């Protein structure tokens, strides 16, 4: 997943959490997500050996 798309999804989720948390209590913070991603190319199992598979790993950690 593209980093901008992942960031947009996290922002959308944060807005949903904020909306569902009402009535708002002073001092309460909305959880924030830190997204990281990595991409790796793996050799294919085809006879020609030229095909490649892409693996994308997305990780999200939640903090305050």
Closest alpha carbon to 29 in 18, 43, 20, 40: 18
% of the chain residues with pLDDT over 90: 0
Quick one: which of 38, 42, 51 has its CA closest to 3?
A: 38
Distance CA 33, CA 55 (A): 22
Q: Given a cut of 60, is residue 44 above it in pLDDT?
A: yes
CA 9 to chain centroid, in Å, comes to 7
| Statement: the pTM of the whole predicted model exceeds 0.85 | no
């Amino acid at each position: 997943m593209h980093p901008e798309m992942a960031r947009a999804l996290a922002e959308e989720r944060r807005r949903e959490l904020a909306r569902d948390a009402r009535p708002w209590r002073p001092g309460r913070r909305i959880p924030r997500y830190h997204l990281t991603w990595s991409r790796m190319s793996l050799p294919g199992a085809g006879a020609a050996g030229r095909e490649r598979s892409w693996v994308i790993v997305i990780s999200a950690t939640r903090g305050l």
